[in-house]
Amino acid sequence: MSQIWNAAEYDQSRRRLIPCFEPFYTIAVELAAATVKTAPALLDLGAGTGILSEFVARRVQPRSLHLLDESPEMLAQAEVRLAEFQPTLHIQKFTDPLPAGPFDAVISALAIHHLSHADKRDLFTRIHAVLAPGGLFVNAEQILGPTPWHERLYNDMHLNGARALGSSADEIRAAQERMAFDRCAPLADQLGWLTDAGFQRADSFFQWFRFAVYAGWKEE
């Protein structure tokens, strides 16, 4: 649901609303850099303004960069931000057919949790299909606590952390309204879905309460 954000304010707001911003994105970048070969082909799902793509592209210097999002306003900003990499834009929904690939890495940040669980599982299968052998899917994602107690803790830590970083009451209220439409899933479920989709070595590599980075690899 990237269209509900004000694209011009998106980057600054994300840094305030994600208390673990630096390690959250850094781990995703490190996983991509440790996996891809020289000049890889990359696909960013839910690219938004290109935050994750910029971090990854500057690290691995891709030969091709594909940005997929249903918000043309977001992708317009990403296109400017990533102009030196000449990105290919795909204005579409996740449920539409993915670009054909093959891609050495498919990356995503805080986007797939908007899908139903059935659509998440279907997307994981389709991501696997467009990856090159040995390719990586890494998702920096928002997850659901495994119990109501955990979910309350996740929520408290998230919002208290955002307040400490300067989020206003209005910004937090708007974030809570958006989150009411989220369809997050427990981390264990998502790792299982990756395995069901054919990914190898599916695992979590970072977690700070409701923010996690997990990944899986396509067989060689």
Secondary-structure percent of the chain, ordered helix, strand, coil, rounded to 5: 50, 25, 30
The 8-class DSSP code of residue 9 comes to G
As a whole number, the mean pLDDT across the chain is 94
Q: What is the pLDDT of residues 142-190, one digit of tens each?
A: 999 999 999 999 999 999 999 999 999 999 999 999 999 999 999 999 9
Q: Alpha-carbon distance 104 to 136, whole Å?
A: 7
The architecture CATH gives domain 2-217: 3-Layer(aba) Sandwich (3.40)
pLDDT beyond 50 at 3: no
Are 54 and 29 within 8 A, CB to CB? no
DSSP 137-148: EEEEEE-B-SSH
Compute the average pLDDT of residues 184-211. Answer: 98
Task: Give yes or no for a cis peptide into 97 (omega within 30° of 0).
Answer: no
How buried is residue 17: exposed, middle or buried, by Cβ count under 10 Å (0-12/13-18/19+)? Answer: buried
Q: Alpha-carbon distance 161 to 183, whole Å?
A: 22
Query: What per-residue confidence (pLDDT) applies to 11?
Result: 80
Query: What per-residue confidence (pLDDT) applies to 7?
Result: 52
Q: How many CB atoms lie within 10 A of CB 33?
A: 14
Categorize the per-residue pLDDT at 59 as very low, low, confident or very high, splitting at 50, 70 and 90: very high
Q: Alpha-carbon distance 193 to 103, whole Å?
A: 20
**Number of residues that this document lists for the chain:** 220
Compute the average pLDDT of residues 69-90. Answer: 96
Are 16 and 166 within 8 A, CB to CB? yes
Encoded amino acid at 163, one letter: R
